[in-house]
């Protein structure tokens, strides 16, 4: 499950709502399929990979391919308006989901046996002392803080809605 998601995130890293779906020729896609995005599946004890439909069509997303020349929106600074009103349990579900936030694909989080090792450890996130507004911005569009980040701009690119980001903030701020 993590492998197919990682390939999906690697090949198709930044979503842009409304962008014409025209991925580069080296993207893992089947243009004739309903769900065009493909994910590798290891054929046990064969030395082969088979390709199957990914759980989500990611073709509107800009890929990390050098041949993908589709534009991306500029980094977007936002404010956290009102009270956080996030639900930490829903946030945990989003963080662990390979179809939503997928934080665990890159970050180490409590309760996961196969965490990612690319992003920062998030085990005791609350101890960092970041404000809810800072964490919200980091998830919404981390390019505001680091223009060279590989972390997706979940809000700017429409991957997560406002409430889902608030739920993730509540979850991260609950990690002592």
Q: Are residues 165 and 103 in the same domain?
A: yes
Average pLDDT of each block of 10 consecutive residues along the chain (176 residues)? 40 45 84 90 92 86 84 93 97 91 91 84 94 98 95 91 98 97
Residue 79 lies in a domain: no
**Domain termination site, one of 28, 63, 98:** 63
Give the pLDDT of residue 21.
Answer: 60
Task: Give the chain's domain count.
Answer: 2
Compute CA distances 83 → 150, 170, 173, whole Å: 29, 11, 14
Q: Are residues 54 and 100 in the same domain?
A: no
Please tell me the distance from the alpha carbon of residue 124 to that of residue 59, in angstroms, as a whole number: 35
Give the pLDDT of residue 111.
Answer: 86
CB count in 10 Å sphere of residue 59: 21
Give the pLDDT of residue 163.
Answer: 98
Residue 31 lies in a domain: yes
Q: Are residues 169 and 102 in the same domain?
A: yes
Give the pLDDT of residue 140.
Answer: 98
> Is this prediction's pTM over 0.85?
no
Residue 82 lies in a domain: no
Q: In terms of residue numbers, what domain contains 165?
A: 88-173
């Amino acid at each position: 499950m993590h492998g197919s998601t990682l390939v999906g995130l690697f090949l198709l890293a930044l979503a842009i709502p409304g962008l014409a779906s025209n991925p580069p020729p080296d993207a893992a896609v089947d243009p004739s399929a309903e769900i065009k995005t493909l994910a590798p599946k290891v054929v046990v004890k064969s030395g082969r990979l088979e390709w199957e439909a990914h759980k989500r069509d990611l073709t509107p997303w800009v890929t990390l391919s050098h041949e993908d020349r589709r534009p991306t929106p500029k980094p977007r600074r936002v404010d956290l308006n009102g009270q956080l009103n996030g639900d930490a349990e829903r946030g945990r579900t989003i963080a662990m989901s390979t179809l939503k936030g997928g934080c665990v694909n890159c970050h180490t989080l409590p309760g996961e046996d196969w965490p990612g090792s690319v992003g920062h450890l998030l085990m005791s996130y609350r101890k960092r002392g970041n404000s809810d507004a800072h964490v919200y911005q980091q998830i919404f569009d981390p390019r505001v803080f680091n223009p060279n980040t590989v972390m997706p701009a979940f809000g700017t690119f429409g991957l997560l809605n406002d409430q889902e980001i608030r739920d993730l903030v509540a979850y991260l701020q609950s990690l002592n």
